[in-house]
């Protein structure tokens, strides 16, 4: 389940409980079937924009009330349960583990690049920096006119105000974690 579906599921259940509504009452108030509302709350259905519109109109809330990340002090992100946000067969896979909207200053990605694979990223704006921690293999990073190989047990930091490239020039898959800090 992707993080937006998780947010909608958690927030819908939380808002319904705060308003003291049963699923039957919510179905009547929104015009969305009880079974669909249950599936949304359980994270087994991705509601269409039309269904979301009915829910926010019936609950008299803003769309952000459903989409925003729920406040949590502790959480576990199981990467095996995430859907890659970007993927190129035989090239790379990227999972967004901690989205920017969780805290407005930090994002965390896990990336895998197959042998010979390349991932090109645009710049992320001024005052943005990435930290790369390799967990398997060697990644070659090109940014700001510099080329750097980063290996296991190394951390590489670079400013990402311009485009940059991640390459796997080796014969085994490379896996690494990228922390992107904004407004440094």
pLDDT reported for residue 72: 63
pLDDT category of residue 104 using cuts at 50, 70 and 90: low
Kindly state the helix (H) or strand (E) to which residue 6 belongs, with its residue range.
Answer: helix 3-18
User: What is the rounded average pLDDT of the residues 27-35?
Assistant: 95
User: What is the rounded average pLDDT of the residues 80-109?
Assistant: 84
Question: Can you tell me which residue has the tokens 């970007």?
Answer: 86
What is the set of domains in the chain, with CATH numbers? 3-67 (1.10.260.40), 80-182 (2.60.120.10)
CA neighbours closer than 13 Å in the CB half-sphere of residue 87 = 7
CA neighbours closer than 13 Å in the CB half-sphere of residue 167 = 12
pLDDT reported for residue 37: 95
Whether 103 shows a pLDDT value over 80: the answer reads: no
pLDDT category of residue 106 using cuts at 50, 70 and 90: confident
CB 136 within 8 A of CB 154: no
Task: Count CB-CB contacts under 10 A for residue 4.
Answer: 14
Question: Is 0.75 topped by the overall pTM?
Answer: no
Whether 175 shows a pLDDT value over 90: the answer reads: yes
pLDDT category of residue 180 using cuts at 50, 70 and 90: very high
């Amino acid at each position: 389940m992707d993080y937006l579906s998780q947010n909608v599921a958690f927030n819908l259940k939380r808002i319904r409980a705060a308003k003291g509504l049963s699923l039957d009452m919510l179905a009547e108030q929104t015009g969305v079937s009880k079974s669909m509302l249950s599936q949304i709350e359980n994270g087994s259905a991705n509601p269409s924009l039309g269904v979301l519109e009915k829910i926010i109109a019936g609950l008299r809330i803003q769309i952000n009330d459903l989409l925003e990340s729920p406040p949590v002090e502790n959480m576990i992100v199981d990467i095996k349960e995430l859907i890659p946000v970007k993927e190129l067969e035989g090239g790379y896979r990227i999972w967004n583990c901690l989205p920017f909207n969780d805290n407005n200053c930090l994002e965390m990605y896990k990336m895998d690049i197959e042998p010979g694979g390349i991932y090109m990223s645009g710049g992320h704006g001024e005052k943005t920096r990435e930290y790369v921690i390799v967990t398997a293999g060697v990644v070659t990073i090109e940014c700001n006119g510099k080329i750097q190989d980063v290996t296991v047990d190394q951390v590489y930091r670079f400013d990402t105000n311009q485009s940059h490239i991640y390459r796997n020039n080796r014969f085994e898959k490379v896996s690494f974690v990228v922390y992107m800090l904004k407004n440094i």
